[in-house]
Amino acid sequence: MQIGMKKKRIAILSPVAWRTPPRTYGAWETVASNITEGLVKRGWNVTLFATKDSITKAKLEAIIQKGYEEDKSVDPDVCRCLHIAHLFEKADKFDLIHSHYDFFPLGYSRLVSTPILTTIHGFSSPQIMPVYQRYRDGYFVSISDADRAPNLNYLATVYNGIKISDFTFYKQGGQKLVFLGRIHPDKGVELAIATAQKSGRPLVIAGIIQDKNYFEQRIKPFINNKLIKFIGAVGPKERNELFKDSYALLHLNTIPERFGLVMAEAMACGVPVIAMDLGSCREVIVDGKTGVLVRNVEGAINALKKISSISRQECRKRVEENFSVERMVKKYEKVYERIFTLQVKK
DSSP assignment, residue 176?
E
Q: Using an 8 Å Cβ cutoff, are 247 and 224 in contact?
A: no
**Domain over 164-322 is classified CATH 3.40.50.2000:** yes
Q: Using an 8 Å Cβ cutoff, are 103 and 132 in contact?
A: yes
**In this predicted model, what pLDDT tens digit does every residue of 267-293 receive, in sequence order?**
999 999 999 999 999 999 999 999 999
pTM: 0.95
pLDDT at residue 2, rounded to an integer: 62
Strands 154-157 and 96-99: unpaired
Work out the percent of the chain whose per-residue pLDDT is above 90: 95
**In this predicted model, what pLDDT tens digit does every residue of 118-137 receive, in sequence order?**
999 999 899 999 999 999 99
Q: Using an 8 Å Cβ cutoff, are 29 and 261 in contact?
A: no
**In this predicted model, what pLDDT tens digit does every residue of 215-245 receive, in sequence order?**
999 999 999 988 999 999 999 999 999 999 9
**In this predicted model, what pLDDT tens digit does every residue of 23-67 receive, in sequence order?**
999 999 999 999 999 999 999 999 999 999 999 999 999 999 999
Could you tell me the strand order of the sheet in which 176-180 lies? Answer: 228-232, 203-206, 176-180, 246-251, 273-276, 291-294
**Is pLDDT above 60 for 89?**
yes
Q: Where in the chain is the domain with CATH 3.40.50.2000?
A: 5-161+324-345, 164-322
Closest CA to 15 of 1, 31, 34: 31
Question: With 0-12 CB in 10 A as exposed, 13-18 as middle and 19+ as buried, what is 66?
Answer: middle
Sequence-ordered alpha helix ranges (H) in 17-149: 27-41, 76-88, 129-134
Q: Using an 8 Å Cβ cutoff, are 82 and 64 in contact?
A: yes
Q: Which CATH class is domain 5-161+324-345?
A: alpha beta
**Residue 257 three-state SS:** strand
pLDDT at residue 41, rounded to an integer: 96
**Whole-number Å distance between alpha carbons of 102 and 243:** 31
Q: Integer distance in angstroms from the first to the last C-alpha of the chain?
A: 20
pLDDT at residue 138, rounded to an integer: 95
